[in-house]
Amino acid sequence: MRTPLLAGRGPLARVPPVAVFALVIGLFAAGVLVRGPVGAVLLGVLAAGVAVLLAATWGVLAPGQRFGRALVLAVLVAVAISVL
C-alpha cells in the first residue's frame, strides 16, 4: 500500500496521480506547441497551479525541496515568456 506524500483530506487527495500527470503534460505540450499568447496563457495557468501548490506545501518542505520546486516554477515561467 502506498503512503501519500503529504497526509491530507483535501480535494486533491482523491485525484488519481496519473490523471494529474496527464493534465500537466497535456497543458505543457499544448502551450509549447500552440505558442503565441494562447500558449503563454496555458503555461501561465500551469505555473499558477505550481505556485499555489508550492505556497501550500512550503512549511513542510525541506530547503532542498523548496529550491527544486522554486527552480521548476522559474523554468516554467521562462518557457511561458519564451513562447510569446
What is the three-class DSSP state of 52?
A: helix
How confident is the prediction along the chain (84 residues), in pLDDT tens digits per residue? 555 555 677 777 788 889 999 999 999 999 999 999 999 999 999 999 999 999 988 998 999 999 999 999 999 999 999 999
Instruction: Report pLDDT for 11.
Output: 75
Q: Report the predicted TM-score, pTM, of the whole model to 2 decimal places.
A: 0.82
What is the three-class DSSP state of 76?
A: helix
CA distance 55 to 71: 14
Let me know: does 48 contact 24? Beta carbons within 8 Å. Answer: no
What is the three-class DSSP state of 77?
A: helix
User: Which set of grid coordinates corresponds to residue 16?
Assistant: 488519481
Using alpha carbons, select from 29, 28, 65, 64 the residue that is nearest to residue 46: 28
